[in-house]
Amino acid sequence: MTSSEELIELVKKLKRERSFVSAEQKHIREQYAQLLKLAEHVQHRQWITSHQRYVLTSLIYPNRNDQNIQSKSCFQYIQILDNISFIDSYKYFNYLQDLPYLRLLTFLRQQPNLLALCLSSIEKTDGLLINTIIPILMTAIYNQCLYYDDELFILELLRSLIDIQLKNELNPRIILQRSSCSFKIVFDAFLTASQSCKLFLTAALHEPIMQLLIDDECFYDINPDTSLSRFSKQERLKKFGQPGTRDYLDKIQKYRNVILTKLYTFTSTFIESLRNALSFFPTSLSFLISQMFIILSQSSELSSRDIRCLCCDIIMTLFIGPAICEPEKHGIIADIPISTIARHNLNQIAIILQTLAMSNDIESKTKDLYNKFKESESFISNCVSSILDNFIDSSRNVIFPSRSSILSSSNITRSTILITQKQLRQL
Instruction: Check if the beta carbon of residue 292 is closer than 8 Å to that of residue 187.
Output: no
Per-residue pLDDT tens over the stretch 291-336: 888 888 887 677 888 888 888 888 888 899 999 998 988 888 877 8
Q: pLDDT at position 194, please?
A: 86
Identity of residue 185 = I
**pLDDT value at 65 more than 60:** no
Section 76-88 average pLDDT: 84
Q: Whose CA is closest to 113, among 147, 162, 150?
A: 162
Q: How many CB atoms lie within 10 A of CB 348?
A: 25
Domain boundaries along the sequence of the chain: 3-146+159-169+406-426, 194-404
- Fold classification of 194-404 is GTPase Activation - p120GAP; domain 1 (1.10.506)
- CA–CA dist 23, 20 (Å, integer): 5
Identity of residue 31 = Q
Distances (CA, A) of 249 to 230, 368, 418: 17, 16, 63
Q: In degrees rounded to 5, what are phi and psi of residue 220?
A: -105, 95
Q: Which residues of 190-213 are buried (b: 16+ CB within 10 A; e: fewer)?
A: bbbbbebbbebbbbbbbbbbeebb
Per-residue pLDDT tens over the stretch 108-145: 888 999 999 999 999 888 878 888 888 888 888 888 78
- CA–CA dist 286, 30 (Å, integer): 39
**pLDDT value at 161 more than 90:** yes
- CA–CA dist 101, 107 (Å, integer): 10
More confident residue, 65 or 174: 174
DSSP line for 133-185: HHHHHHHHTSGGG-SHHHHHHHHHHHHHHIIIIITT-S-HHHHHTSTT-HHHH
Most confident of 233-242, 311-320, 373-382: 311-320
Section 199-216 average pLDDT: 91
**pLDDT value at 1 more than 70:** no
Average pLDDT, the chain: 82
- CA–CA dist 256, 276 (Å, integer): 30
Sign of the CA dihedral running 263, 269, 275, 280 = negative
More confident residue, 248 or 351: 351
Q: pLDDT at position 116, please?
A: 93
Per-residue pLDDT tens over the stretch 211-236: 999 888 888 888 888 888 888 888 87
Sign of the CA dihedral running 235, 241, 242, 246 = negative
Q: Which residues contact 289 (CB under 8 A, 6 or more apart)?
A: 311, 314, 315, 391, 392, 395, 396, 398
Confidence of residue 396 (pLDDT cuts 50, 70, 90): low
Q: What's the maximum distance between 2 C-alpha atoms anywhere in the chain?
A: 120
Most confident of 241-250, 272-281, 363-372: 272-281
Q: Whose CA is closest to 197, among 205, 343, 179, 407?
A: 205
**Percentage of residues of the chain with pLDDT beyond 90:** 13
Section 7-13 average pLDDT: 81
Q: How many CB atoms lie within 10 A of CB 395?
A: 22
Section 341-357 average pLDDT: 89
**pLDDT value at 381 more than 80:** no
Confidence of residue 38 (pLDDT cuts 50, 70, 90): confident
Section 66-93 average pLDDT: 76
More confident residue, 237 or 22: 22
**pLDDT value at 274 more than 80:** yes
**pLDDT value at 172 more than 60:** yes
Section 362-377 average pLDDT: 73
